[in-house]
Structure 1
């Protein structure tokens, strides 16, 4: 049985754009700034998505508290 997974050979549009930057030498400080910029960008996107989930599902602090006491783990298969 062949269990090897196929690795995609196409790069995403984001990867292609980032590759364009590789032709430039940047200082360590600039590199850290770029990393922080990317992290902040994706962090904001996640925050926005979470806000939408909360709004769409009418979640509240009480919802979170109720989740703390839920037991979602099933019994292990024998």
Structure 2
């Protein structure tokens, strides 16, 4: 059986939840993480827009692309 090594973030979350693993705490952590990564994404997209790597033309092109791949059986 292969062992899984936890990264420092996973270890910290496990330690934190050892003290209070309630559903309410889980909801709060999910909200904080969602907000955090949403802000990082917004900042990255703003940088792409400002640099010209992303613009309205490219967004329009993406809107019409079929990006899903079929699952292999």
Same fold? TM cut 0.5: yes
Unaligned 5+ residue runs, structure 2? 67-73
* Counterpart for residue 16 of structure 1: 11
Matches for 1:15-34 after TM superposition, within 5 Å: 15-34=10-29
Give the paired residue count: 65
Q: Work out which structure has the larger RCO, using CA pairs closer than 8 Å and 6 or more positions apart in sequence.
A: 2
Q: Aligned partners of 2:30, 2:8: CA distance in 1, in Å?
A: 18
Displacement after TM superposition at 1:15 (Å): 0.9
List alignment gaps of at least 5 residues for structure 1.
1-6, 72-78
Q: For the aligned residues, what is the CA RMSD?
A: 2.7
Structure with the largest fraction of helix? 2
